[in-house]
């Protein structure tokens, strides 16, 4: 394959004509496909249907402590669920709070509490003139939306191959006491799919924040969401590392079973230091009497223990892996060597991060949409939906059936080529 | 029975000796009973065990709209659950938002959102110097705790036989724009058990608030929680009444199935005008992708429709009614005519409100505790836990088994008599 930049004007013009015809063919198929969000597919959901059977009318719904899970009470979660989720999150059960069905909701509530009541005795953020948050970009749009909603300034730091640019993070966190937190997806990151290196995690744990109420928001959304059995990313556990580094209270770790059991009907958790937990419970006991213990019990009875959960995740991987590989194969086949795009090859998680040439992402996504394939909006991986390079596109291969996925990926490559050729021709002042 | 105040000093002294002996007998039994909270009893929980069977691994988990309830999505609830809960709350399904497992959590979040972002474009409460809320007293401690937690001044208005003192409510609401809301339990009120009259509801709907962001917090916790089939309180529906009165946006109505299915594993709702819903959804979509749709479906499949739910509530009533009647019978038998206490005789809900002579409630509750019976702390039904008369005690008869309940009620009457006699003797300067 020859790089597009090395093609002559005539070659590009001919190519454009050919690509436009191929694009027209896709349009004529009247597709209606969606690769926009990290939703499990039907086959993945079917894996957890057994969870609907473990509790029935003749089963005892009492937890290990003898608590009747059908009644009020237990603010922080039933012991066996804390044990299971602690194992999933690689923290002691004592460091855990089990919430409702959504870790996003836990993160929102964490920001909201800091805004209304402050963090461990510090000034509530609503009483401060200016609060900032670091957003690792590209990243998760719903994270950025929370801080933006609270009028917090989102400050971007680029995601590199082994994690965020830690020189920038250290500089910002240590010099500016209005920086109160950082949004991280440390493992199989959304959308890049890569994980933070040991060195990066160690530097996180050793941050010297100017703000006493600075917290790392460690969204471990894909902690056991591997694609391969034999090639898995392993992270240093951040709670223990922060403790060892003398920063025991600096991190909130989030996770849920949304992509383990059922999205929307899973259980979500926050893990942090005992000091932070004490601070959080002062608020939580005002907000609720307790979360859904029957659903906690349902999860424990279905998975048994962390080994059962990991075995279950292998079944997810068996469904997801071919989808990732199909997309990557098409990207490789169609785009390698053209020097018009780069993309990641994740070993877990839910996304492939795709970069066009500068200024092409919006057009590519728009072209896909006009041929019936919905992608995540270009820019969505940046705060405010604004990607300064207009280059990043998040590919979510999990939901569509395999055949649809291949069609969508092929269309994507056609659109990328077409938009790239037109960009090059325009730059050269050549009409097309 | 002779009123205690009419007894001679000698009669009171003899009575005290006798009561002290009876109290000692209770202490010797080493009881461990709890009448402190409105928890359903085991037999009530058993009524809903069939709900554990309606969804199993071969059942289709698709809602009426064709949405797979196992996956992400649907911010406001599945249509059939909105229909069911709308019928329970006597409002159109379109006016409903279904949340997670706890209406308390919905109320907290409603206050929190008003505090951080304001109500329909009005100034967020965190930017105001002073915010006040009206608390109808005696009332629900967890309501008062929410506003107190947000630094909101709780202003007390007394609960009368037919609802809050509306002269006071109207005066406060129309004259003071720092009053942003009022906590109400309009039906089978916590703890008095009585309901707002038509006249009271009409006056609520016709309030002329000084504050544009004033809202009535209408916690319809006991909307279908009758004790009797043939003698039920019926309220004018507040949303429709507010609309008719030209105040369509003035009320938030809350309810849940906590005391219909399982506390902690039910579904909670907010019903309000479409304008309010639009305002709320702007926030809700930042906070979560959606609540637990599988549990919504579970409820619909179990209850079928509102008739199924009402039939189910009759079974609850059959369990609760004898408990209420047993307590009331003992109170009648032991305390009638003594003029040392008054109490309510509710036709629904979870509580009996009991009033001692002024200054006796704390001592009564303390005496009960020392004989092994935990009551709701005296004062809990007032903001900050401070009952200015120190007279109100909330009796929660639902949870203990019938025999325990009778023992606890008998102990309560002994403690009330003992503390009352000692009060009278002390006032008369007579030693005992």
Q: Which residues of A touch B287 (CB under 8 A)?
A: 104-105, 108-109, 146
Share of chain B above pLDDT 90, in %: 98
pLDDT category of residue A30 using cuts at 50, 70 and 90 = very high
Q: B193-210, pLDDT tens digit by residue? A: 999 999 999 999 999 999
Containing B268, the helix (H) or strand (E) segment is strand B268-271
What tokens appear for A295 in the block?
């659903």
Any chain B CB within 8 A of the CB of A292? yes
Q: State the best of A264, A267, A291 to mutate against chain B, taking most chain B CBs within 10 Å.
A: A264
The pLDDT of residue A37 is 86
The minimum CA-CA distance between B214 and chain A, rounded to whole Å, is 20
To which H or E segment does residue B30 belong?
Answer: none
Ramachandran bin of A190, using left for φ above 0, alpha for ψ from -120 to 50, beta for the remaining angles:
beta
Q: What is the mean pLDDT of residues A216-226?
A: 97
* CB within 8 Å of chain A, chain B residues 10-39: 37, 39
Sign for the pseudo-dihedral over CA of A402, A408, A414, A419: negative
Q: Is B350 on the interface with A (CB under 8 A)?
A: no
C-alpha distance from residue B66 to each of A34, A54, A417, B56 (Å): 17, 25, 37, 18
CB-closest option in B55, B263, B288 to A72? B263
Position A162 pLDDT exceeds 90: yes
Query: Which of 57-86 (B) contact A at CB < 8 A?
Result: 57-59, 61, 68-74
The pLDDT of residue A288 is 98
Residue range(s) occupied by CATH 3.90.1150.10 in chain A: 4-44+310-428
Residues B289-298 pLDDT 10s: 999 999 999 9
Interface membership of A258 toward B (CB under 8 Å):
yes
Name the residue in chain A with its Cα closest to that of B114: A116
**Residue spans in chain A of domains classed CATH 3.40.640.10:** 68-304
Question: Residue A1 above 80 pLDDT?
Answer: no
Query: Could you tell me the fold of the domain covering A68-304?
Result: 3.40.640
The string of pLDDT tens digits covering residues B54-85 is 999 999 999 999 999 999 999 999 999 999 99
pLDDT at A78 over 80: yes
What length does chain B have?
A: 432
Q: Residue A71 and residue B102: Cβ atoms within 8 Å?
A: no
Is 80 exceeded by the pLDDT of residue B4? yes
Q: Is the peptide bond before A124 cis (omega within 30 degrees of 0)?
A: no
Task: Give the mean pLDDT of A373-381.
Answer: 95
pLDDT value of residue B179: 98
pLDDT tens per residue, range A126-152? 999 999 999 999 999 999 999 999 999
For the stretch A292-316, pLDDT in tens is 999 999 999 999 999 999 999 999 9
Mean pLDDT, chain B, as a whole number?
A: 97
Distance CA B391, CA B360 (A): 6
Q: What is the pLDDT of residues B220-278, one digit of tens each?
A: 999 999 999 999 999 999 999 999 999 999 999 999 999 999 999 999 999 999 999 99
Interface ipTM: 0.96
Cα distance between residue B86 and residue B74, in whole Å: 17
pLDDT at A56: 94
For the segment B278-288, the average pLDDT, to the nearest whole number, is 98
pLDDT at B1 over 90: no
Strand partners, B181: B133, B215
What is the predicted pLDDT for the residue at A129?
96
CATH architecture, domain A4-44+310-428: Alpha-Beta Complex (3.90)
* Contact list, B115 vs chain A (CB under 8 Å): 116, 126
Mean pLDDT over A347-352 rounds to 97
Cα angle vertex B1, ends B355, B361, to 5°? 20
Say whether pLDDT at B37 is over 90: no
Inform me whether the C-beta atom of residue A42 falls under 8 Å from chain B C-beta atoms.
yes
In the stretch 102-161 of chain B, residues with CB closer than 8 A to chain A read 102, 104-105, 108-109, 112, 115-117, 124, 126-127, 142, 145-146, 149-150
Range list for CATH 3.90.1150.10 in chain B: 4-44+310-427
Residue B400: strand, helix, or coil: coil
Residue of A42, A100, A126 with shortest CB distance to B101? A100
Indicate the CATH number for domain B4-44+310-427.
3.90.1150.10
Domain with CATH 3.40.640.10 in chain B: 61-304
- The number of beta carbons lying within 10 Å of the beta carbon of residue B318 is 14
pLDDT the model gives residue B43: 97
Tokens for A192? 């890049």
b/e per residue, B78-93, with b = 16+ CB within 10 A? bbbbbbbbbbbbbbeb
CATH number for the domain whose boundaries are B61-304 = 3.40.640.10
């Amino acid at each position: 394959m020859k790089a597009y930049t090395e093609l002559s004007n005539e070659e590009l013009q001919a190519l454009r004509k050919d690509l436009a015809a191929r694009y027209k063919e896709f349009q004529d198929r009247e597709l209606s496909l969606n690769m926009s969000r990290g939703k499990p597919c039907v086959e993945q959901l079917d894996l957890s249907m057994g969870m609907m059977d473990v509790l029935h009318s003749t089963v005892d719904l009492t937890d290990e402590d003898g608590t009747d899970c059908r009644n009020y009470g237990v603010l922080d979660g039933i012991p066996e669920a804390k044990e299971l989720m602690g194992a999933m999150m690689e923290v002691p059960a004592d460091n855990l709070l089990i919430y409702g069905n959504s870790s996003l909701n836990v993160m929102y509530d964490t920001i909201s509490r800091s805004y209304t009541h402050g963090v461990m005795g510090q000034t509530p953020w609503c009483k401060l003139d200016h609060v900032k948050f670091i957003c690792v970009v590209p990243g998760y749009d719903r994270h950025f939306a929370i801080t933006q909603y609270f009028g917090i300034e989102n400050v971007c730091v680029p995601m590199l191959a082994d994690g965020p640019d830690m020189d920038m993070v250290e500089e910002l966190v240590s010099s500016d006491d209005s920086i109160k937190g950082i949004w991280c997806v440390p493992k199989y990151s959304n959308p890049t799919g890569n994980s933070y290196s040991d060195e990066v995690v160690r530097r996180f744990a050793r941050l010297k924040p100017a703000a006493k109420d600075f917290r790392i928001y460690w969204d471990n959304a894909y902690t056991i969401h591997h694609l391969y059995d034999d090639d898995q990313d392993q992270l240093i556990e951040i709670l223990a590392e922060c403790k060892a580094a003398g920063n025991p209270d600096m991190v909130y770790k989030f996770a849920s079973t949304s992509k383990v059991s059922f999205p929307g009907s899973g259980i979500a958790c926050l893990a942090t230091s005992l000091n932070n937990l004490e601070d959080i419970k002062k608020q939580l006991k005002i907000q609720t009497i307790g979360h859904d213990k029957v659903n906690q019990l349902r999860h424990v009875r279905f998975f048994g223990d962390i080994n059962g959960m990991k075995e279950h995740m292998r079944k997810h991987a068996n469904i997801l892996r071919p989808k990732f590989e199909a997309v990557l194969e098409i990207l490789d086949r169609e785009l390698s060597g053209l020097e018009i795009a780069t993309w990641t090859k994740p070993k877990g998680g839910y996304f492939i991060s795709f970069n066009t040439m500068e200024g092409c992402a919006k057009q590519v996504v728009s072209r896909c949409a006009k041929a019936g394939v919905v992608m995540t909006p270009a820019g969505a991986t940046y705060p405010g939906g604004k990607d300064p390079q207009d280059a990043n596109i998040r590919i979510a291969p999990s939901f569509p059936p395999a055949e649809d996925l291949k069609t969508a990926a092929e269309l994507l490559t056609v659109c990328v080529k077409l938009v790239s050729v037109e960009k090059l021709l325009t730059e050269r002042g050549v009409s097309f």
